[in-house]
Amino acid sequence: MKKSEKENVFLDLRNKIMNLTYKPGTMLSEINLASEYNVSRSIIRDVLREIKDYGFIETIPRGGTYITEIVMKDFRDIFEVKSELEGLAAELVVERITLEQKNAFKKLVDKIQNGNSFKMSQEDYIEYDEKFHQLMRDASGNKELARLLENYHIRCTRLWYYISTDIPDDTFKEDYINFYEQGVVPQNTVRAKEIMRGHTAKFVNLIKIKIF
């Protein structure tokens, strides 16, 4: 399905904030953005309202709209919730996954395994991680859970760009592979949940190492 003009603007602007093309603290002008994207200011206002749901911008009365700073305490709160939601999603995936979705997981895992001879760059990790988590959200069969996890995933990706570090070899590759081979294939909900909660814990530990 072809994306609407508004959706294209939303995705592009959100991603520019997420990958730090637009830095924290930057002021966002409706007039300038409307000119940049060649759309009306009403579209820009709608887009900014949607982006605000990710915690990426804040509006100061009579002061303008700014890209938010990255506050580590906020991510502590997010990770506490995200870990539980990822575990729930893992259980639902094992219980509800369709044959088509299972084949999509296998295709991704095969691609990762075939690339095991090289180290993932930050961009490689983000690409594979997004595909993996998108498959999880879809296969969970729960739209509300998928919406929450997508929101947290986008926020955490911004944090990953912010700390700007490479992924140690095989840190996350094995999680993608094990989730499929030890969770999905044998229909083991306990193991699937364990792997995904461990996946989040690894991410948190890498952030702690980088920052502290």
* Per-residue confidence in pLDDT tens, the chain, 212 aa: 457 999 999 999 999 999 999 999 999 999 999 999 999 999 999 999 999 999 999 999 888 999 999 988 888 889 889 999 999 999 999 999 999 999 999 999 998 888 654 566 667 778 888 999 999 999 999 999 999 999 999 999 998 888 875 555 566 788 999 999 999 999 999 999 999 999 999 888 877 776 65
- From residue 147, alpha-carbon distances to 5, 56, 153, 154, 189 in Å are 22, 16, 10, 11, 22
Domains by residue range for the chain, with CATH: 5-67 (1.10.10.10), 72-211 (1.20.120.530)
Helices 143-163, 5-18: crossing angle, 10 deg rounding: 40
Cα atoms found within 13 Å of the Cα of residue 87, Cβ hemisphere only:
14
So what's the pLDDT on residue 168? 56
Which pairing describes strands 27-28 and 57-60: parallel, antiparallel, or unpaired?
A: unpaired
Helix (H/G/I), strand (E/B), else coil: 9: helix
Q: How far apart are CA 184 and CA 48, in angstroms?
A: 38
